[in-house]
Amino acid sequence: MRAVIQRVSEASVTVDHQIIGRIEAGLLVLICAMQGDDKAQADYLAKKIAKLRIFQDDAGKMNRSVLDIAGSVLVISQFTLAAETHRGNRPGFSTAAPPAEGEALYTYFADQLAAQAVPVQRGSFGADMKVKLLNDGPVTIWMDSAER
Q: What is the pLDDT of residue 98?
A: 96
Q: Is 14 a catalytic residue?
A: no
Q: Is 80 a catalytic residue?
A: yes
- Span 51-89, pLDDT tens digits: 999 999 999 999 999 999 999 999 999 999 999 998 889
Q: Is 93 a catalytic residue?
A: no
> Of the listed 6, 14, 79, 121, which one is catalytic?
79
HEC secondary structure over the chain: CEEEEEEEEEEEEEECCEEEEEECCEEEEEEECECCCCHHHHHHHHHHHHHCCCEECCCCCEEECCCCCCCEEEEEECHHHHCECCCCCCCECCCECCHHHHHHHHHHHHHHHHHCCCCEEECCCCCCEEEEEEEEEEEEEEEEHHHC
Domain with 78, as residue range(s), is 2-147
Q: What is the CATH number of the domain that holds 13?
A: 3.50.80.10
> Of the listed 78, 109, 112, 121, which one is catalytic?
78
Low-confidence ranges of the chain (pLDDT < 50): none
Domain count, the chain: 1
